[in-house]
Structure 1
Amino acid sequence: MGILQLWAGAGPAGNNVTVLIPQGASLSRAATELEKAGAIRSARQFVLLSKILGSSDPIKAGEYRVLAKLSESDVLKMLQGGKTLQRFVRVPEGTPSILVYETLMKAPELGGPIKPPIEGTVLPDSYAYNRGDTRQGVLDQMQKAMVQYLAGAWQRRKPGIAVTTPRDALILASIVEKETGKPEERRMVAAVYANRLKLGMPLQADPTIIYPITKGKPLGRRILKSEVQAKNAYNTYAMTGLPAGPIANPGRASIDAVLDPAQSNALYFVADGSGGHVFADTLEQHNANVAKWRAYRAAHGI
């Protein structure tokens, strides 16, 4: 095999391999790790060809994923470019902070302690990190993203909305997030709660009953009558206005819905049996919709 084929031809790795290059490692040390992983044929040969045919740019430490058959020339370029293996931690929309904490604690190759973040301070999304990064560093990214998005969304808010501060928007958005899983319903749900706030009606949002009990985790059973009647800083059946704080970490769409709700006079909504809801302007209409929902539940054994 000629020298150019050794350098630019297919590499020896039969499968993708992961290689960790320590901080401060020389090219020789990196080559040793690459050879151990089967990413190159010979550490000594790799160093020699790198000096003859490669650039003199320094290599960068980190965890690398070397694809099967990647040429030794491209391996060097990857190390010099710092194209390290990206890992991701995902926070779905509506995740409560206790589950954000548990997710970060379980994420592989993250280090260091964290405290559960304050509810509503994390923007749901997928966040990239590298091996050896800290949990606090990733959490800082999540919280910075929320600060930036909320600030921008607040500047774009429509006039006449029911909330008067970014924090109140965040609180209401967390309720909207937990009340519907259908993207097309968010602005209507936001409109219902906005209308209730303006009229001084209790929001009567079931997720606000659950939050003090589970900190946002699934309840796993039906809500008890005593829990509906419980007086605390979150139960919107036993109080008017917004709860004391967010009940989850709302996503961008729910924040946007609260800051630009649908034009509607609706004050009520109930499940329609399809995973969505049916909305009503009056209590009479709502009671009829509730009766239909109860009949549906009975017919389907729910």
Structure 2
Amino acid sequence: MKRLLVRLLILAIFALAAMALAGWWYAQRALPLSAPVIDFTVERGSNMRQAARAIRAAGVEVDSDLLYWLARLGGKAERIKAGSYEVHTGVTPWSLILKLSDGDVSQSSVVLVEGWTFHQLRQALESHPEMKPDTAGLSDAEILERIGASEEHPEGLFFPDTYLFDKRSGGLAVLARAYQAMQHRLADVWEERDPALPLKSPYEALILASIVEKETGRPEDRGLVASVFANRLRIGMPLQTDPTVIYGLGPEFDGRLRRRHLDTDHPWNTYTRRGLPPTPIAMPGPAALRAAVRPDESDYLYFVSRGDGSSEFSRNLAEHNRAVDRFIRNRSTP
């Protein structure tokens, strides 16, 4: 009887060892894929069994029950993380489980461009092929509320940069990060501002920076462009900058600015109203932010485009009119 028990015990040990070897072999075996690269998403709140089914449904030829039990026996079944994942030819069941438990999600990127309006920013996020358009259908005010912004108008509040995000995640998360990035960057440059700056708050600096961003064709001109606007603000002279007028026109603007546009009063018309407009007109980049708070020292009050991206600066109206004749009207005056 004792010998029989010993034999049964030995057989049981061999059986367990064989099962362990079979499990290990299965765990390390490359899985067949329906394509060289497979994307799948583990939804928030999914358990390992649901994740295994989603993986199989995406085109990874894995036994979902075996994958579940392998994860459970390996102590990983309760550690999986939601997100979008990408697997390639050669992936094994165990490497797949490790990917899920480590949260090794696949990422993509989106570029927020300096000088974009919030409308352009929304379009970029909502049309991104690898981003969930969770801002679609929301008003601007609802978006600001969901990202925790206290401002009433979204323009200019987001820092232009390249942002990585988990594939299939939403644009609101990117907006929240871009908003916080601008808050931090704006706070930093405000601390470094020129004490003589004619601005009352970081938000006013943001407004001026957005104008500098839209008015500057060449980086080396930013400091002088900012100085022109700072000098005008100091003496109460209207800023008279076309980009603010264009911004206020919105969809009405057809690409050609006319005299009637300059004469029609609205909050962003800096020809008819003195001081800064009520909001930024675009997303300023770091160079425009720095120029706005520490403009170059100058006594310039005017500038005009030379047509090559650079600007001609003038101290008085007579100089400016000659520059306009030269670079805009293509004729010289004595």
Alignment partners' CA distance in 2, 1:135 and 1:35? 28
1:171 equivalent to 2:219? Answer no
1:21-59 deviation digits (Å, cap 9, x = unpaired) = 233433333233323333354434544554567856621
**Secondary structure of 1:278's partner?**
strand
Superposition deviation, residue 296 in structure 1: 5.7
Larger Rg: 2
Which of 21, 26, 30 pairs up with 2:42? 21
Superposition deviation, residue 8 in structure 1: 4.3
User: Residues 174-185 of structure 1 correspond to what in structure 2 (within 5 A)?
Assistant: 174-185=210-221
**Secondary structure of 2:328's partner?**
helix
Which of 119, 139, 143 pairs up with 1:115? 139
Which of 57, 66, 70 pairs up with 1:36? 57
Alignment partners' CA distance in 1, 2:53 and 2:90? 18
Question: What is the match of residue 85 of structure 1?
Answer: 106
- Unmatched 5+ stretches in structure 2: 1-21, 142-152
Q: Decide whether aligned partners of structure 1 residues 49 and 277 sit closer, same or farther in structure 2, where only a CA change above 3 A counts.
A: same
What's the RMSD between the two structures over aligned residues? 3.2
The AA in structure 1 aligned to 2:132 is E
Answer yes or no: is the 8 Å Cα contact 2:232–2:238 preserved in 1: yes
Greater Cα shift, 98-107 or 193-202: 98-107
Q: Decide whether aligned partners of structure 1 residues 7 and 285 sit closer, same or farther in structure 2, where only a CA change above 3 A counts.
A: farther
How much identity, in percent, do the aligned residues show?
A: 33
Which of 255, 267, 270 pairs up with 1:233? 267
Number of residue pairs the alignment of both structures matches: 295
- Unmatched 5+ stretches in structure 1: 298-302
Question: What is the match of residue 252 of structure 1?
Answer: 286
**Secondary structure of 1:237's partner?**
coil
TM-score (norm 1): 0.82
Greater Cα shift, 47-56 or 139-148: 47-56
Superposition deviation, residue 131 in structure 1: 5.9
Superposition deviation, residue 3 in structure 1: 7.1
Which of 256, 262, 266 pairs up with 2:300? 266
Alignment partners' CA distance in 2, 1:30 and 1:166? 47
Answer yes or no: is the 8 Å Cα contact 1:17–1:37 preserved in 2: yes
Q: Decide whether aligned partners of structure 1 residues 279 and 7 sit closer, same or farther in structure 2, where only a CA change above 3 A counts.
A: farther
Q: Decide whether aligned partners of structure 1 residues 275 and 9 sit closer, same or farther in structure 2, where only a CA change above 3 A counts.
A: farther
User: Residues 96-245 of structure 1 correspond to what in structure 2 (within 5 A)?
Assistant: 96-107=117-128, 108-111=131-134, 113-116=137-140, 118=153, 119-130=155-166, 133=169, 135-214=171-250, 219-245=253-279
